[in-house]
Structures are given as C-alpha cells and as structure tokens.
Amino acid sequence: MGKMAAAVGSVATLLFRFYRQSRPGTADLGGVIDFSVSHAARGTGPGAAKVVKSQLNLSSVSDHDALRAGLQPVSKWQAYGLQGYPGFIFISNPFLPGYQWHWVKQCLKLYSRKPNVCNLDKHMTKEETQDLWEQSKEFLRCKEVNKRRPRSLLEKLRWVTLGYHYNWDSKRYSADHYTPFPSDLAFLSEQVAAACGFQGFRAEAGILNYYRLDSTLGIHVDRSELDHSRPLLSFSFGQSAIFLLGGLKRDEAPTPMFMHSGDIMVMSGFSRLLNHAVPRVLPNAEGDSLPGCLGTPLPADLPRDSVVEPCSLEDWQVCASYLKTARVNMTVRQVLAVGQDFPLDPTEENKRDITAEGSCHLDDDNSQVKRARLSPDC
C-alpha cells in the first residue's frame, strides 16, 4: 500500500522528468495545450478539453493606454482559462508587431543593471556586474563567427530581482531591500491586471528568469508575497517553453501547456497558490532562429507618451543573438495590500522551513546540480 501511495504521489515529478526529456516534433508533446492554434489542434491529451474562453474587462483599459504599453486593444486579445483552474488566465501574445523588442531589450540591457540584484552578485563585485550589457554585447555580436568562445556575462545571467528584492535564502521580501520598480514595466503590468479585473494593481516586485535551452524551473508555489488577493503576472519572450500547472498539493497531476514569445499568464484567486514548473525550453522548430513574431522591427514612430522606447538595430542584433538559444520570463507581483506594512518580527505562521524547501533557482544541465530541483515555495 505504501509503494502504491508513493507512486501516486510522484505523478507531478514523473511528468516533470518526462517533459524535461521530451523531444520536439514527436508524440511526446501531443498532450501539451497550445493556445496559439485553433481549438481543434490544441492537443490530444486530457488537458485540451479543459480550455475555455476568458472574459476580459474591455472598458478598464483604453485603446490608447494599451498602445502606450505596446499592446493591441483589449477587445482583440485572445484570452483563455482552464476548467478546474479558476483564476488562471492565459493571454496569447497580445503585443503589437515589433513591440516585444522593447521588453526584450529592457530585460537584457536595462533591468540587468545595478542597483538591481542578480545571481552573479554572489561571486562578483558590484563593479564587475554594474553593466552586463556593455561587457557582453561584442561577445554576442560575434557569436555566429566564433561559437566556441567563452560565454558572456549575459549568457551566465540566471535571474534578476526588481523593486522589493526577493531573498532566496529567507524566502522573504523586506522594506530595507528595495530599489525603484521600473516605471515602464509597472505600467504594462497595471494594464494587463486591469484587463483581467484587477484595477489598482501595484507592481512592487519582479523576478526575471533567464533560461538557456538546458534550463529548468522546479515545482514550486509563489507564496512569499503578503497579499495573495492580487494576481501574479508572467510575461514570456524568446524561445518557447513547456509550463506545468499543478494543484494545491505537489502530488496532483499538472496540466502541460506551451508558453510562446509574447504570451502572458495571470494566476489569481484559487490559482494564485498552485504548484507550477518549467521542465523544458524548446529550441525553435526551424533550427537556430527566432520565433516569427520577433521578426518585425519596432515601429520608429511611437506615440508621444508611450512607455516603449526606440530599439536600434545594433541593440536588437545583440538581443536576437541572445534569444536564438534562450528565453526570458518576467514575473510581476504586488507584495503588500493597500495600507499594509512588513511585520517587524516574522510570526511563526509566516516562517518557512528553509531546509525543506531547497531552492527554486533555474537549473541547467551543465551546472553542478544535474537533476531538477523541486521546490515548494519561491
């Protein structure tokens, strides 16, 4: 009986390993939901039948404000939900053609700068990590010429934190570890949250994950924010990935879905505290190239009050070289409820068993840890 219970309890872990080892273009991915295609082609697995249309708040975001953030009018967004996952909303690439260029450039060029915090800080000085873009751009421009060169610092980047900086050891945020949250990303997040029914959302913390093709993100729950009534927003750019959306318990079988460049996910309500993971980043089916939606340049004539800034072809050349073998994900959170402050002394209720939780950092196959880390909280 004990062995049977253990086998059932490991369903999520087994599926994580299965998709981590999956081969693109084979039957391995037949059960993965693809929101970017017609309903009839969304997969043959049990998850395909769960897809439903999500109703958005069309009047909450003006067409002009959507344009300022580089988004199509909300009336044109393709938003979906999943039966059994109330509060989960998947928006299939609502960005206007070319506007993803800005957000990719910001992740690589601006958000990676100091005073923001990144994984490289643990082994390097602030001076060495002050401007990763400047130190990496020539390496990336020459990537096609010399593929055996050492990796640039940007290619060694795994995560960056914004706003209230997440402490990976204590699993907490704190008032004294804060830098101003990027205003353009805050505006984008506010529009998406409002369209999903969350007017007044405040972007207070961000975790950016930088995936290589061999990177994974273990099973975890995002519960460190003090206000769980506000949604978690997730923005994906670059190569596609498989996302596993599980249940409140780690042993519940997850539903797999593709996340393509430009896709946005919103986890709120019941779905806000669900287990989830990224077991696989998928190389472009056409080889060493970018997704088609990234092939259109950012328009030169931007609205006067746009939060989106021009992106030079020289800068995009660096971004494109990076994204051919990578994916970037931005997650944005509201940490505190309106009028709420951080507790002076953490209560027993909020304490985390750090030893049991391990870590939810990105793993890749050439790191010291060869297997996926499965973490309940990050």
Residue numbers belonging to the annotated binding site for Fe cation = 220, 222, 276
Under a CB-based contact definition with an 8 Å cutoff, are residues 244 and 88 in contact?
Answer: no
**HSE (CB half, 13 Å, CA atoms) of 230?**
24
C-alpha to C-alpha distance for 37 and 205, rounded to whole angstroms: 32
Structure tokens at 376: 């309940």
Under a CB-based contact definition with an 8 Å cutoff, are residues 302 and 116 in contact?
Answer: no
Looking at this protein, which amino acid is placed at residue 309?
Answer: E
**HSE (CB half, 13 Å, CA atoms) of 193?**
24
CA distances (Å), origin 16, targets 85, 250, 254, 288: 19, 12, 9, 25
Phi, psi at 238, each rounded to 5°: 100, -145
| Cα dihedral 226/206/262/153 (nearest 10) | -150
Residue indicated by tokens 């009018």: 73
Query: 310 preceded by cis ω (within 30°)?
Result: no
